Amino acid sequence: MPQYLALIYTAYVDWWAPEQAAELAEYRQFAVDNADSIRASAVLHPTSTATVVRVEGTRGGHVVTTDGPYAETKEALTGYYLIEAADLEEAVAITAGLPAAWNGAVEVRPVIAVK
Amino acid sequence: MPPQPRAWLTVTARRKAIDILRRERTRPGKERDGLRMIELARSDLPPDDVVHDDLLRLIFTCCHPTLSPPTRVALALRTLCGLSPAQIAGVLLTTEAATAKRLTRARQKIAAAHIPYRVPPENELADRLPTVCAVIHSLYTAGHAPVDGRTAYDVDACAEAVRLAELLHDLLPDQPMPSAVLALLLLTEGRRPSRLDEQGDVVTLDQQDRGRWDAAVIARGVALLNGSLRRSHRQADAYQLQAAIAAEHARAASYHDTDWTEILRLYDLLVSIAPSHTAGLARVVAATEAADAATGLAMLAELPPNPRWHGVRAELLAREGRYTEAARELAESLDGPATEPERQHRERRREAFLQLAMPSPPDESES
């Protein structure tokens, strides 16, 4: 069955903050409701904890790290679900249940099947 | 070969199938039977119900809501009408390379993301049909009222849109929306011959020779609209309202006999359920005819300006004898994109208004 990565884009959010508890509970409920379709998932710490890694020149070059996100945007990647669905319509129907779908956006990307 | 080879790989076969469906419908009974016999003898053609289902699946896949609107139009023209990327580029006012890239990406997405190749179930049809109808309608609009280009309209694009509308109505005869779209297209198409004179110059509705309108096409449009309204329990959608407006124009013996109050009422409804700049401008014209130019000018002030807006404002100002301002509005309107015949029409109007403004009475109305 085809797999889709549902990338969650929302405004800056610290999922550990107590005021996020209610929304986080909605995500947990989503995971319970769609347990049969979800193959993997992750909730990410806020973008302020991110580190961008670059290697100068080519492989083996000097490793340069930068604090913070790659680019400042209104909406950032804050989590993902790996979903299995019969087709894009089913994948869209499932991801429409994610709170990010009305609080931000969910990008649904088909995963290349590795034989 | 993509992982799931689909119908667009057999474009020619589909086109043939569409042609057969079309011929079947237009041929008189006896001839139709004869044709069926000949075609039954051919083993390479799938049975009618297979063609029917396959075409519907193809339509719903091409017009899938997860594809962008211009991509849906391009896919429909490629797979359902068999147009080449160069021809599609002409309709969509883009380049052949851009169209080819768009088609390739669309096919990649359909295959990689598994956009299903199926007809939506009955309970989802209400959600999905508007997307399909919008593809047909925007194709017709691109042909009938292009924003730019050498000609006033693209006859081929109009014909392809009508062909698709006929096909969708044939495939889903009980659905009110496809029959309303077909009605709208026919009621507009039936009046197209009078939009240009022998020299290819634009003729405005008030000057058109209504004798050149195609009465048979218009009558069919009216019948389709009535059927559509009956099936939707008179809860009119945007296509039905636009078709009703077109029918109202079509049944008027002359511009002055037009029931502008009724047309304004229909535009009020249209703007309330499907606001658009084009409908807004047409509503201003209807209000002007139903009341006066001052009413129209007040309504116009509520809409954002664009070249067509300036064109309408020029005509309203001229009605009030404000020719200098009218000519200035047309100059503004000529700054934006327009088809070549439309541009020439505006130039002629501007010259006429400048002439009328010329004597410039020293002590009249100007302060």
**What mean pLDDT is reported for chain B?**
85
Range(s) of the domain holding residue B230 = 173-193+213-251
Whether residue B26 has pLDDT greater than 60: no
Chain B residues in contact with A110 by the CB 8 A cut-off are 112-114
The verdict on B118 and B247 lying in the same domain is no
List, in order of start, the domains of chain A with CATH numbers: 3-110 (3.30.70.1060)
Q: How far apart are CA A91 and CA A88, in angstroms?
A: 5
- B112 at the A interface (CB within 8 A)? yes
Looking at the structure, tell me whether residues B244 and B114 fall in a common domain.
Answer: no
- Cβ–Cβ gap B114/A88 under 8 Å: yes
Beta carbons within 10 angstroms of residue B367's beta carbon: 2
Q: Which residues of A touch B112 (CB under 8 A)?
A: 110, 112
| Best A4, A5, A89 residue to mutate vs chain B (most B CBs within 10 Å) | A89
A2 touching B (Cβ < 8 Å):
yes
Q: Which tokens sit at A34? A: 């769609």
Does A5 contact B at CB distance below 8 Å? no
Q: Is A87 on the interface with B (CB under 8 A)?
A: yes
Residue B39 has pLDDT above 80, yes or no: no
Q: Is B121 a domain residue?
A: yes
- B312 CB-near residues (< 8 Å, 6+ apart): B281, B284, B285, B296, B300
Contact A89 B112 (CB under 8 A): no
Residue A46 near chain B (CB below 8 Å): no
pLDDT tens string B266-322: 999 999 999 999 999 999 999 999 999 999 999 999 999 999 999 999 999 999 999
Identify the pLDDT of residue B44.
Answer: 56
Domain membership flag for residue B159: yes
Co-location of B56 and B111 in the same domain: yes
Full-model pTM: 0.80
Q: Are residues B161 and B189 in the same domain?
A: no
Q: Which of the four pLDDT bands, split at 50, 70 and 90, describes residue B91?
A: confident
User: Which residues, in sequence order, are CB contacts of B314 under 8 Å at separation 6+?
Assistant: B326, B327, B329, B330, B333, B349, B350, B353
Decide if B115 and A89 are in contact by the 8 Å CB cutoff: yes
The verdict on B148 and B189 lying in the same domain is: no
Chain B partners of A86 at a C-beta cutoff of 8 Å?
114, 116
Q: Are both B130 and B183 inside the same structural domain?
A: no
Q: Give just the sign of the alpha carbon dihedral B182, B183, B184, B185.
A: positive
pLDDT in tens, A17-53: 888 888 889 999 999 999 999 999 999 988 888 899 9
**pLDDT at site A106:** 96
pLDDT surpassing 60 at residue B101? yes
Residue of B nearest to A92 (CA): B66
Domain termination site, one of B172, B202, B233 = B172
Residue A66, helix vs strand vs coil: strand
Q: How confident is the model at residue B347 (pLDDT cuts 50, 70, 90)?
A: very high
> How many structural domains is chain B composed of?
2
Q: Given A86, A89, A110, which is nearest B112 (Cβ)?
A: A110
Q: Do A87 and B116 touch (CB under 8 A)?
A: yes
Long-range Cβ contact pairs of B10-19 (< 8 A, separation 24 or more): B11/B78, B11/B79, B11/B82, B12/B82, B14/B54, B14/B55, B14/B58, B14/B79, B14/B80, B14/B82, B15/B81, B15/B82, B16/B45, B17/B45, B17/B46, B17/B51, B17/B54, B17/B55, B18/B55, B18/B80, B18/B81, B18/B163, B18/B167
Say what the ipTM of the complex is.
Answer: 0.84
Same domain, B66 and B121: yes
CA distances from B242 to B117, B238, B246, B277 (A): 31, 6, 6, 14
